[in-house]
Amino acid sequence: MENYTEAMSFFVQATTPREPRSVSARQVSILFAAILVAFSVAQLFSFEDFLVELHDVPYIGQLLVVLLPMLITAQVFAIPFLLGMTVSPAFRWVSMVFGWLVAAFWLGFCSWVVIAGVPLSSIGFLGSVVTLVPGWWAVMVGIALCILAGWSAWGLWPGKRR
């Protein structure tokens, strides 16, 4: 019975995160969180317009229409880990993984748009609030997001450290 209670406390008890490994890891995680907040707010402001634009993307337009709400949700759920909020250990892990998934999505999507030459008027980082023409710069932003996600995960790792 004790193991059951111990296992359930992993999911229910809100705990404070461990201290970051370095000051720079804390600063990088705050920068990554600010970027995700800006992305989410802008995408939500122009949600309907951006959905119409994504629907016309060749091959995967309907899939993108389904993925966009999930992407925005993942961006929002990545923020508690990045800001060191008091959450359960299980949600801290989930939040960290959402940060990885968001960065991987943007890198993959931007790479696909550029390599396949998909006709988009805006890459979508900021929805359709600000028109950001797709290009190799967007792939570099995707790479930068992956670096920020990796650095944040390393510096704020929620598990046991050596």
| Full DSSP string of 55-115 | HTSTTTHHHHHHHHHHHHHHHHHHHHHHHT--B-HHHHHHHHHHHHHHHHHHHHHHHHHHH
How far is CA 18 from its chain centroid? 21
pTM of the model: 0.88
Predicted confidence pLDDT, tens digits, the chain (162 residues): 566 666 566 567 888 888 999 999 999 999 999 999 999 999 999 988 888 888 878 788 888 888 999 999 999 999 999 999 999 999 999 999 999 999 999 999 999 999 999 888 889 999 888 989 999 999 999 999 999 999 999 999 988 877
